[in-house]
Chain A
Amino acid sequence: MIRISAPDTAEMGEIVEVKAMIQHPMETGYRRDAKGDVIPRNIIKQFRCAYGGNTVFEATFFPGIAANPFLAFCLRATRTGPIEFSWTDQHGETWSETRQLTVS
């Protein structure tokens, strides 16, 4: 599951807050299960937010990031276009979600 909070419309030059959360265990690789076996690491490595095709926010995740990572950041609304959120895990699997921002 992915949850995004972003406005549909904004005025030219306005600063808008966007929020993104993804369901992911962010298993550190340091824990052991009830039998004593290591639980393999399973984390998201990269987050990227592109606005109108340009990267405006990027983050690299490490094992210290909690499960279900939640990010909130601000953008300046400069043109009408898509805001694309994408997450890539350590195996290269990618999840993404897009919202359209209309600027007037």
Chain B
Amino acid sequence: MKWALLIGALCLAGCNKPESTYARNSDVKAGDIKSGYAFLQDDTKALQDDDFANPGFLWVDRGKRLFETAETGASTCSTCHGAHGMPLKGVAAHYPKVDAKTGKLLNLEAAINLCREQHQGLEPLAYESDDLLGMTAYVASLSRGEPVSVDITGPAAKYYEEGRDYFFRRKGQFNLACSQCHNEHWGEKLRGDTISQGHGNAFPAYRLEWQDFGSLHRRLRDCDTGIRAEPQDYGSETYMAVELYLAKRAEGLAMESPGVRR
């Protein structure tokens, strides 16, 4: 009886003191910020560096073709964004960005789809379709080498906070937060791989594990699945906010899309 009471009391004490919902505060020191490229093997680096061998260029080529071709009844992207004005060089480095009209946070994929709807009268492309990946890859490739730099002031501030919250919140069966791997243990080994700092500057990217080209949201879904948490939907507001937080966190890193990752 005594023991049963004692065990009961211990259980209650345990139940009343839930584990912290958030991982401890941490960061990657400003001088230590490194692109995921730095953690790749030499062969994979070589694949990214060779503009022919890099399979991501299959999608860049597809995007370029779509960019210059008119769909039924619509003008081409290059009509507005060609030599005449609104060039897209360097633009991708500043996404995600808040849309001034709706106040919604848009990543590059969402911005491309909004442009299709508003200026071309076309249906949005499906997230993760080869066509949307291609368009995104092409536009992002025009910013290769540009330093990542996003605005987190004004209307963007709340999205930044939401993204930061997700990054430090413990989730899934493993009860892990993004920060526990990518802030606290980057550079160390996780099975056969080196843990990166979790920057998105190479995305959309070709991933050898996928044998395919994919968006940052696909990568985030993989990370969430890896810690046995429920992945968010493609294009969800939560992942948009995470994307903004990650971009701010990666500020100054050169854009690499179409990157190659393991």
Q: Which residues of A contact B (CB under 8 A)?
A: 1, 3, 5, 19, 21, 23, 25-26, 66-68, 70
Contacts and interface: CB of A to CB of B under 8 A. Distances in A.
Given A1-B61, A3-B58, A70 B53 contact: yes
B123 interface: no
A68 B211 contact: yes
Contact of B211 (A3, A19, A67): A67
B179 to A, nearest CB: 28
A19 B52 CA distance: 8
B211 A23 contact: no
B67 interface: no
A70 B55 contact: yes
A61 B52 CA distance: 21
A40 to B, nearest CB: 16
A68 B52 contact: no
A23 to B, nearest CB: 5
Nearest to B211: A67
A3 B212 contact: no
A21 B52 contact: yes
Given A3-B58, A67-B211, A68-B58, 8 more contacts: A1-B58, A5-B52, A19-B52, A21-B53, A21-B58, A25-B212, A66-B211, A68-B55
B65 to A, nearest CB: 8
18 contacts: A1-B61, A3-B52, A5-B52, A19-B52, A19-B53, A21-B52, A21-B53, A21-B55, A21-B58, A23-B58, A25-B211, A66-B211, A67-B55, A67-B212, A68-B55, A68-B58, A70-B53, A70-B55
Contacts of A3: 52, 57-58, 61
A23 B59 CA distance: 9
Contacts of B212: 25, 67
Given A26-B211, A66-B211, A68-B211, A1 B52 contact: no
Contacts of A1: 58-59, 61-62
Interface centre among A26, A66, A68, by most chain B C-beta atoms within 10 angstroms, is A68
Interface on chain A toward B: helix, strand, loop, or mixed SS?
Answer: loop
Nearest to A70: B53
Nearest to A68: B55
A25 B211 CA distance: 7
A25 B212 CA distance: 8
A25 B25 CA distance: 42
Nearest to A23: B58
B233 to A, nearest CB: 16
Contacts of A26: 211
Residue from A1, A19, A25, A70 with most neighbouring chain B CB atoms (10 Å): A1
Contacts of B52: 3, 5, 19, 21
A5 B211 CA distance: 22
Interface string B201-213: 0000000000110
Most buried by A among B57, B58, B59, B61: B58
Nearest to B206: A68
